[in-house]
A and B are shown apart, each in its own frame.
Chain A
Amino acid sequence: MRTMRSLVIAAAAVLAGVTGVQAAGEKIELPDRNWSWQGPIGSFDRAELQRGLQVYTEICASCHSLRLVAYRNLEALGYGEEEIKAYALNYEIHDGPNDQGEMFTRPAIPSDRFVPPFPNEQAARASNNGAYPPDLSLMTKARKNGANHLFGLLMGYADEPPEGFELMDGMSYNRYFPGHQIAMPPPLYEGGVEYADGTEATVEQMAVDVTAFLAWTAEPELEERKSLGIWVLAYLAGLFVIMVAVKRRVWSDVKK
C-alpha cells in the first residue's frame, strides 16, 4: 500500500510539472525577469509606475484604452489631488444631455475613467489597419505569465523576419507573439519619451516601466492584498499552534 501511495504521489508530481508546458504548437520561451511586485512581500516601485504612466500616456494611449481605471486611482502612484486634476484636464469627455437636451464635451475630472482614444471598436479598427488594439486595464492578468509576456512582446520585435517567414502586409515580426505576426508596429524606440525624472529612455527601460504600470492597473489591490495576507497567515499559524495544543489536551484522557 505504501508503494502504491508513493506511486500516486509521484505521478501527481510529474503531471503537475508537465501541465506547465504548452502542448499545442510551438513553445515560446518568455523572458523571466525579477519584477518588484512578485513574491509574498513584493511591492510596486512608485518611480517605475510613474514612468510607466508616462510611457502609456505618450505612446500606448494613442491606440490602447484603459477603460477600467479612473484618474483618481493615480493617487496610488504617489500623485497629489492637484496633479491628478491637471492630468485629467488633458482629456475631453463626451457627456450630456444638459438641461437644454444638448450633448457636449467637457474636460475629464478625477472621478472619470481613462478616456479611450477611439469612440468605438469600429473607429479603432478603421484607424489601425483593421486590427483592434485591446484594452490594457487587465492585460497582465489576461495572459499566462502576463508581465513577462507583455515585456517580451515589447522587446521582441525584429527588423527582419527570419528567412523563409512569410510576413503579411502591414504586419510586424515579433518573437513572443503567438504566430509571430503582430499588427502593432514596434511601439518603443530609443528616446521615445523624455522621462520627467531624467531616466534614460532606452527601449528596455520603457518596456520595464510600462509593464510595471500595467501590472498595477491589473492588480491595484496587490500591495494591500499581500500585506494583509501576511497578517492573516501569521494569525492562523498562531491559532493552529493553539488548536493543536487544545486537541492534545482534550484527547489526553482517551485510552488508545
Chain B
Amino acid sequence: MATRTEFKNPLIRWVDDRLPVFTYLDHEYNQFPMPKNLNYWWNFGALASVVLVLMIVTGIVLAMQYTAHVDLAFESVDRIRRDVNYGWLLQYIHMNGASMFFIVVFIHLFRGMYYGSYKAPRELLWMLGVVIVLLMMGTSFMGYVLPWGQMSFWGATVITNLFSAIPWVGDAIVTWLWGGFSVDNPTLNRFFALHYLLPFVLFAVVGLHVVAVHVTGSNNPTGIDVQAPRDTVSFHPYFTAKDSVGLVAFLMFFAAVVFFAPNLFGEPDNYIKANPLQTPAHIVPEWYFLPFYAILRAVPHKLLGVIAMFASIAVLFVLPWLDRSKVRSANYRPIHNGLFWIFLADCLFLGYIGANPAEGWFVWGGRIGTIWYFAHFLVLVPLVSMFERPRPLPASISEPVLKEKR
C-alpha cells in the first residue's frame, strides 16, 4: 500500500489523504492481481463471507424477538415463525444458513487441500482458516441449543459432558460450563450470550484470513507462483463478475432449501420442547458434526475418544508441515491425488457412520474410517510427499492454458 491512488472526487480525496480507506479498497478489491486461471472452486471463500454476513444480519434481527429462558425459548422461536412479519423466513434462513455455511466452508477447505493451498507461504492463512472452522463449530453448537428443543437440550448435554472426560477436574469443569448441575437456564443464557459474541470474533478472524490472502495472493489450480503480469487479471471486474455467477448459483440452492425444504437438514425431534426427563431414542448432532461424532465414538475410551475428536481438527493445523512435497497442486501429484479422493470418501463415510447408532458393523466401520482419517495425515501424506515423483510442472500459469487450447 505504498502508493496512494489518485481520486478525482475532492471529498474522497480529502478523506483518503487522512485515512486511506479508498486507496485500500482500490488496491485490494479493484486492482488486486488474481491468477487468471482460477476455477469455480475458488468461489467458495467469497460465498462463505456472504453467508457470514447473512447469518449476522438475520441473527441480530432474530435476537430482537428471542427469549433466552428455558420456559419461553421454544415458544419464542415458534412465535418468531408464526407471528413476526416474515419471521418464518428469517428463522429458516438463519437455521439453514448454518448448514450452508458449513457446506461452503467444507468445500473451501477441501479445495485448499486438493490444490495445496496450505503450503508455504500460506501456512498462517491456512491455520487461520482452521481457527475459523473451530469458531464456526462452537458458534453453531451453541446456536443449536437456543430453540430449546429435544435435540438442543440433549445435544448440549452430550457435548458438554465430553469435558467430564478430563481427569480429576472434568466434573468440576462441566458444572462450571453448565452454571449448575445440569443443562439448565444458566446454560441457555450463557450460550445465548456467547452465540451473539462469537460471530463477531469469527468476523475478525475472517478479516485476518482475508488480509493474509491479500499478502500472499491466491493459490491457483496449477499451484505454481504467479511470475508475470500476464498470469494475472485484476480483481475487479474479472473476479467480481466470476464470483457473482457462483454467488447467484449458490443463492438459488440456498433459496430452494429455505422455501421448499426448510427442515431438510434438521432433526424432527427439535420441534419437541426440551424435556430433561425424557431422552430421545437417538441423539444425533447436526450433520456437519457427524464425521467428528463418528471419530469420538470409534474410540472405546471416553477421554481418548474426546482427544481423538479434537485431534481430528488439530491435525489440520500441522498439515503444512506434514506434506513435504514442494508441488502444491494435486493435479501434478498422481498418488497424492488418489489419496485426496479416498480421504474425501472417508470423511463422507464417517459422516454416514456418525448418523447411525453405534452397533453392528457401524462400530468397526467407524474404527476403520477413523484409523484411515489419521493415517492419511500422519502416515500417508508425509510418506507420499517424500517418495512420490510429481508430473512435470508447466513453466508458468499461462503455459498449460496455451497447451490445452492447441
Contacts and interface: CB of A to CB of B under 8 A. Distances in A.
Nearest to B248: A240
Contacts, number: 123
A221 B88 CA distance: 7
B82 A220 contact: yes
B271 A138 contact: yes
Interface of A: 1, 4-5, 7-8, 11-12, 15, 18-19, 23-24, 40, 68, 73, 134, 137-138, 141-144, 146, 178, 218, 220-221, 225-226, 228-230, 232-233, 236-237, 239-240, 243-244, 246-247, 250-251, 254-256
The interface residues of chain A, by DSSP majority, are classed as helix
Contacts of B82: 68, 73, 220-221
Given A8-B344, A229-B259, A229-B260, A240 B241 contact: no
B245 interface: yes
A24 B359 CA distance: 8
B88 A68 contact: no
B227 interface: no
A11 B349 contact: yes
B321 interface: no
Contacts of B190: none
B147 to A, nearest CB: 11
Given A40-B260, A251-B242, A15 B252 contact: no
A237 B249 CA distance: 8
Nearest to A4: B341
Contacts of B262: 225
A254 B252 contact: no
B282 interface: yes
A236 B252 contact: yes
Nearest to B356: A23
A132 to B, nearest CB: 10
A233 B252 contact: yes
A225 B88 contact: yes
Interface string B229-258: 010010001100110110011011001101
Interface in B364-406: 398, 401-402, 404-405
Given A225-B262, A240-B245, A254-B233, A142 B269 contact: yes
A33 B251 CA distance: 31
Given A23-B362, A142-B271, A142-B272, A247 B241 contact: yes
A23 B405 CA distance: 51
A8 B341 contact: yes
Contacts of A1: 331, 334, 337-338, 341
Contacts of B357: 23-24
A215 B337 CA distance: 49
A226 B356 CA distance: 32
B269 to A, nearest CB: 7
A206 B258 CA distance: 31
Nearest to B259: A229
Contacts of A7: 341, 345
B255 to A, nearest CB: 5
B271 A232 contact: no
B244 A254 contact: no
Nearest to A19: B355
Contacts of B348: 8, 11-12, 15
Contacts of B248: 236, 239-240, 243
Contacts of A246: 241, 244
17 contacts: A1-B331, A1-B341, A4-B337, A15-B349, A23-B360, A40-B260, A218-B271, A225-B88, A226-B260, A230-B259, A232-B259, A233-B252, A240-B248, A240-B249, A246-B241, A247-B242, A251-B241
B276 interface: no
Residue of A221, A237, A244 with highest tally of chain B CB at under 10 A: A221
B260 A5 contact: no
A230 B252 CA distance: 11
B321 to A, nearest CB: 26
A233 B362 contact: no
B396 to A, nearest CB: 13
A239 to B, nearest CB: 5
A243 B248 CA distance: 8
Nearest to B258: A229
Nearest to B240: A250
B66 to A, nearest CB: 16
Contacts of B263: 141
What are the 10 A-B residue pairs with the smallest beta carbon separation, nearest first?
Answer: A229-B259, A4-B341, A142-B271, A221-B88, A247-B241, A250-B241, A138-B271, A141-B271, A15-B352, A240-B248
B207 interface: no
Residue of A40, A225, A237 with highest tally of chain B CB at under 10 A: A225
